Amino acid sequence: MASTRELHELSAEEEEQFTKLFKRLDASGDGRIDFEELREGLKKLGVHSDQAEKHAQEILKKSDKDDDEEIEFAEFVKYMSEHQRKLKLTFDKLDKNKDGRIDTEEIIEALRGLGVHIDKSEANKIMKSMDKDGTLTVDWDEWREYLLLHPSADLKDIVRYWRHTVSIDIGENLCVPDEFTEEEKVTGMWWRQLVAGGTAGAVSRTCTAPLDRLKVLLQVHGANQARGGIMGSFQQMLKEGGVKGLWRGNGMNVLKIAPESAIKFMAYERLKKLFTREGQSLGVVERFCSGSLAGMISQTSIYPMEVLKTRLAIRKTGQYSGMWDCAVKIYQREGLRAFYKGYIPNILGVLPYAGIDLCIYETLKIMWVQHSERWLRRNEPQETDDDEKEDGTLKNMYLAKNKNQPNPGVMVLLACGTISSTCGQLASYPLALIRTRLQAQTTPIPGRDTMVGLFQGILKDEGLRGLYRGIAPNFMKVAPAVSISYVVYEKTRSALGVNSK
């Protein structure tokens, strides 16, 4: 049990609350809280599953003074008391006019001091997530209840917490290269995240490579390849190259992940500084411009690898002995310019893809949040007796932050990203098809060796449908690719010691 001194320093209300909270977390009732109990208990008390594991790890690390991987009641009381004291110091620091309440102007001013610029509507979102009496101000009790199970009282960490739970726009979107916090850059977590993403991409591309090669063949050979349908084309692939032939071009497709990701990340970091003033966060337009230009720079840098991937995917058995042989023969027969065939439609395809992807992603996320708000209001639990009131008080203490602005989980964001990416591909697919056909041309075809000429030729010979050859296997690979990427990404992150957020 807690020492007499520690309990003496607590008020009767605090002592009762900490005791009840400890019992809620101590699922086994043995007077100790282990990691599993802490993580599951935090989830039941309203901490989002995406953050519960990280919170549990940090709370255990800070409170387990004897390093036995468990939290005793004395350790729990000591940690909670110290954490509450730090939260009070942060509250007093934010309360500039010392009236005992934090208002929107004080939130805006505090975040501006950290280089985070938000408008009043976003500040109101933050206030509503903590405000329980509808005054749009937050007193100490509301502040304490909101953050008691958040493992840090540092304002920078609290701002990151608001970013995930309140969805304020301070720079977070799946449609452009990943952003990393200063903490992640200093600790080396950024490169682990990139490695995890690269590994997930490599495994995902390898697993769906047969569908990708089928798409390329349908794009290049058009109606001739498509006559037998998807199954007929698949059988032709097997007949010509065997099972191993289904993965032609995949080696280069995987090989280009590392340079493409690294160049995109470095370019994006540089471009962010060009589009924003010092200390200012990126808006949607700035993120779109930075992300699009970073994509163009990375594509320009690795484009010869794209050409090699296409040539290796459509090659006949014995045509090339490997990647290097393919590169040498292209250079000897067609010259250096061959490595940039189809470059213009490729670059032009970046803008519609990125724009549609970004707009639809944001729209879907907002729709989900609005739907969740309505659902939460309709299903707010009714308290009936003293026990339910006790549970409700503890639970609502940590769910209050989500009632006004629910937090989309990883799977929801993943679904939004998948749908938006699919729509972006649909809009830019004709340009991708023209790019692939130009890449595949070993000898110029009069009138069809330019983007415009080829576009007109496809419309004349195959109609509008010809611009979408191969789109079926392209969409068929989306679901398995996303699922595989997600699983491998999470497993790799965990193996590299990156906590889930």
Angle at 212 between CA 357 and CA 456, to 5 degrees: 70
- Between 191 and 428, the higher pLDDT residue: 428
Report the sign of the C-alpha dihedral through residues 422, 424, 430, 436, in that order: negative
In a domain, 227, yes or no: no
In a domain, 259, yes or no: no
Residue 348 has pLDDT above 50, yes or no: yes
Rounded average pLDDT over 401-407: 46
Return the CA Rg of the chain: 28
Q: If phi over 0 gives left and psi between -120 and 50 gives alpha, with beta otherwise, what is residue 385? A: beta
Q: Which of 411, 440, 469 is the last residue of a domain?
A: 440
Any bridge partners for residue 138, and if so which? 102
CA distance 254 to 121: 44
Residue 375 has pLDDT above 80, yes or no: no
| pLDDT (tens digit per residue) in 246-284 | 999 999 989 998 888 788 878 877 887 787 665 555 566
Residue 151 has pLDDT above 60, yes or no: yes
Q: What is the pLDDT of residue 44?
A: 79
Q: What is the pLDDT of residue 356?
A: 74
In a domain, 386, yes or no: yes
* Residue numbers of the domain that contains 417: 346-440
Residue 5 has pLDDT above 60, yes or no: no
Residue 383 has pLDDT above 60, yes or no: no
| pLDDT (tens digit per residue) in 25-56 | 888 888 888 888 888 888 877 776 667 777 78
- Between 372 and 87, the higher pLDDT residue: 87
Q: What is the pLDDT of residue 189?
A: 58
Dig out the tokens for 349 from the structure: 């395809």
Asked if 401 and 27 touch (Cβ cutoff 8 Å), the reply is no
In a domain, 260, yes or no: no
- Between 471 and 385, the higher pLDDT residue: 471
Helix and strand totals (H; E) in the chain: 24, 4
Residue 379, φ and ψ in degrees, nearest 5 = -110, 25
Q: Which of 148, 165, 182 is the last residue of a domain?
A: 165
Angle between helices 104-113 and 73-94 (to 10 degrees): 100
* H or E stretch at 40: helix 35-44
Q: Which of 130, 145, 165 is the last residue of a domain?
A: 165
Q: What is the pLDDT of residue 165?
A: 54
| pLDDT (tens digit per residue) in 82-99 | 888 888 888 888 888 888
Give residue 396's pLDDT band: very low, low, confident or very high (50, 70, 90).
very low
Domain total of the chain: 2
Q: Which amino acid is at 381?
A: P
Residue 57 has pLDDT above 50, yes or no: yes
In a domain, 235, yes or no: no
| pTM, rounded to two decimals | 0.57
Highest mean pLDDT among 55-69, 187-201, 389-403: 55-69
Rounded average pLDDT over 359-371: 73
Q: What is the pLDDT of residue 400?
A: 43
In a domain, 351, yes or no: yes
| Burial zone of 462 (CB within 10 Å; 0-12 exposed, 13-18 middle, 19+ buried) | middle
Q: Which of 140-144, 180-184, 190-194, 275-279 has the lowest mean pLDDT?
A: 180-184
The gap from C-alpha 358 to its chain's centroid, in whole angstroms, comes to: 13
What is the SS3 string spanning 376-440? HHHCCCCCCCHHHHHHHHHHHHHHHHHHCCCCCCHHHHHHHHHHHHHHHHHHHHHHHHHHHHHHH
Residue 118 has pLDDT above 50, yes or no: yes
In a domain, 13, yes or no: yes
Any bridge partners for residue 101, and if so which? 139
Residue 364 has pLDDT above 70, yes or no: yes
Q: What is the pLDDT of residue 376?
A: 62
The torsion of the CA quartet 235, 240, 243, 245, rounded to 10 degrees, works out to -120
The CATH number assigned to the domain holding 145 equals 1.10.238.10
CA distance 94 to 475: 50
| pLDDT (tens digit per residue) in 295-308 | 888 889 999 999 99
In a domain, 469, yes or no: no
